[in-house]
Amino acid sequence: MTPSREIEMTVSGFAFGGRAVGRGPDGKVCFVRGAIPGETVRVRLTAEKKNYSEGVLASVTGPSPQRQIQACPNPCPGCSYAHVPYECELEWKQRQFRSLAEKAHLQSDLAQFMREPVGAPVRIGWRNKIRLSLEFSPGGTVQAGYRAEDNRTLIPVRECPLAQPEINDALRSGEWKKNLTGREKNITFRRTESDGVRIWTDRDAPPELLTERLDGFGEFQVGAGSFFQINPTMSGRLAAEAVRLVKAVNPALLAELYCGCGVFSILCAEQLPALRSFGIELDSGAIACARKNAELHGVSARTEFIAGDSAGMFRKRRPHGLPPGTLLLVDPPRTGLDPAMRELIGRSNAAGIIYISCAPDTLFRDLAQLENAGYRIRESRLLDLFPSTAHFESITCCMAGDAVKADSAKRTIPA
């Protein structure tokens, strides 16, 4: 069968990852970006797998009343939900979050721990960092843009509606083209209130330090090449959730793995005067920033930051596990916790775990294993740090079995 043929199907939902999903005439599941649940669409097939097919939207034969004109003129795959109202986007993200929890066959009661999502106040103009691919023509002209669904084709971008206006101004100006040599592969635009828009390519040394502002929590030093959340407003909401959960546990010690520039440890130390914390991060530059940030926020005497592999350094520093009353906070990359780290955390004796995740599939995989070590999920919440896109963040609190039982007993005592 030729993959380029067209089929007609009715869309049944949005799959995790932002593509619409339905079934073709032969009953096979088909994924297509740009359609809406309830619509009848024609899809030009681009790939046939054993159990599913993929395609591009050819036409909408039965449009949904929810369909709206996209704010983005670029046909890139990044804005998966720009053609539906935000309420629809947030509803489907929550459905995906809940569905992945159900598929993990958790021991914890989903109805008890699943919380309402936290939506974003704006859908465009929130992103303070973008990285564009570059392509040079034989004549010396350059185009910057995002890669298409095939990860090869360049979609030229004159402006990105998700980006902050100042970044788009810099992109449109074209001044960034002047010093290019023709050998660069990508270019980064990053803006902070203190530093303005800074621009560098993969062949440049990025600025040594930038000053980021986290809404509601002040300023933090961060290396330009180091990780920091790209939505300042919603990052503040995530930080507030982390602080709330740590306060509820009220630990004596907070151990933060994958700590970056130390934001969570520092904020919690500010809010809990008796709390001591230590953080571990592979990026030595981020650890240097964490130490500076602890000084900036006045908590350096109660915080310690260590550069190194999280599992290796954790095992070295705490070979016999954590002392009583310790809370673990983890914020791993999209791949989640590796097997060695899951095993290490499972026997760490931590009273509880706060797990911040940008990938719910690996989150619930990890939580299922941690449940086997005796932990139970107390609450889990989606926060939409990446509106209009397929991505979102979440924060989950787990407690050791005895702590969960004690907490449940307290809740049964009449007021």
Confirm if 142 and 177 have CB atoms less than 8 A apart.
yes
**Nearest Cα to 384, choosing from 162, 72, 117, 19?**
117
Q: Which helix (H) or strand (E) covers residue 305, if one does?
A: strand 303-307
Confirm if 330 and 362 have CB atoms less than 8 A apart.
no
Ordered mean pLDDT values, 10 residues apiece, the chain (415 residues): 78 96 95 96 93 94 93 85 96 98 97 98 96 92 93 93 97 94 95 95 88 93 91 96 96 95 97 95 94 97 94 83 92 93 91 97 97 96 97 97 48 30
So which residues are the catalytic ones? 358
What phi and psi, each to the nearest 5 degrees, are found at residue 106?
-70, 155
Cα(259)–Cα(282) distance, integer angstroms: 9
Structure tokens at 28: 């096979």
Cα(69)–Cα(393) distance, integer angstroms: 26
Cα(287)–Cα(19) distance, integer angstroms: 38
Dihedral angle computed from the Cα positions of residues 124, 129, 133 and 137, in that order, rounded to the nearest 10 degrees: 90
Cα(327)–Cα(341) distance, integer angstroms: 16
Cα(361)–Cα(374) distance, integer angstroms: 21
Cα(407)–Cα(415) distance, integer angstroms: 15
**Nearest Cα to 395, choosing from 385, 381, 376, 377?**
381
Q: For residue range 362-396, what is the model confidence (pLDDT) as tens digits?
A: 999 999 999 999 999 999 999 999 999 999 999 99
* SS3 (DSSP) at 58: strand
**pLDDT for res 402:** 53
Q: Which helix (H) or strand (E) covers residue 292, if one does?
A: helix 284-296
What phi and psi, each to the nearest 5 degrees, are found at residue 96?
-65, -40
Q: How many helices and strands, by DSSP H and E, does the chain display?
A: 10, 19
**pLDDT for res 242:** 97
**pLDDT for res 413:** 28
- Domains observed in the chain: 6-67 (2.40.50.140), 88-122+213-412 (3.40.50.150), 129-207 (2.40.50.1070)
Listing from the earlier edge strand, what are the strands of the sheet with 186-192? 154-156, 142-147, 129-136, 186-192, 196-201
Bridge partners, residue 84, by sequence: none
Strands 196-201 and 142-147: unpaired
Confirm if 90 and 384 have CB atoms less than 8 A apart.
yes
CA end-to-end distance (rounded Å), the chain: 68
pTM of structure: 0.92
